[in-house]
Structure 1
Amino acid sequence: MTGTTRSSADLDPRRRRILVRAWRRGIREMDLVIGGFADAEIGTLDKTELDQLELIMAEEDADILKWVTGEAETPEQFRLPLFERMRAYVPDFEPRVDPTEGQAPAS
């Protein structure tokens, strides 16, 4: 995935800005997490949830990444249902290794 797959044509200006910012984070992992979440949910978030999303997005990407992956405890002010829903968009960042890769074929 290289970026948004959602059209912003039906969004109001605030939602459009948030969607663009969600996909231009600076750390690719955060593009995927926040951008993926925004693609899926930006059209249905209410005003309070938009406020919360902007508040989260104002934080440093490295910190958000630690919170969503569980590497660091999420600060109290971000322990929100919205943040927990965003966590559902965390891809598996650990590379998968094929255990048969590099083995000689059986004869």
Structure 2
Amino acid sequence: MTETREAMIKRLRMRSMRRGIKEMDLILSAFADAHLASMSEVELAQYDQLLAENDHDIYGWIGGQFAVPDTYTDLIGRIAHGAHGVTRPA
């Protein structure tokens, strides 16, 4: 059985809200609310893959502390764009 687009977006939104660290809850929930509905199937699959990564790694990529893997460069850039003040003071 394949997952519908609506079910996938709902699942990704929930996974964005229930992370291991509060900062990631805030950052990814805001991103999910603003962007998931308009993302392509390929972008949704990549975001799903990103959510399987370690929260501390994702947080470091967004905050610029760690080099971003090529696979996620564009996606992390989009997420980081809306994360100012959460990853480091504005």
TM-score by length of 1: 0.72
**Which one has the bigger helix percentage?**
2
CA-based RMSD:
1.7
Deviation of the 1:40 alpha carbon: 0.3
Say whether residues 1:38 and 2:32 are aligned partners.
yes
Which of residues 46, 67, 78 is equivalent to 1:73?
67
**Alpha-carbon deviations, 1:55-93, whole Å to 9, x = none?**
1111000000000000111112221x2221111121414
Per the alignment, residue 77 of structure 2 pairs with 84
Q: Which runs of 5 or more structure 2 residues have no equivalent in the other structure? A: none
Q: Which runs of 5 or more structure 1 residues have no equivalent in the other structure? A: 1-10, 97-107
Report sequence identity in percent.
Answer: 33
Write out the 4+ residue segments of structure 1 that deviate beyond 4 Å after TM superposition. Answer: none
TM-score by length of 2: 0.85
- Paired with 1:46 and 1:70, the residues of 2 have a C-alpha distance of 26
Bigger Rg, structure 1 or 2? 1
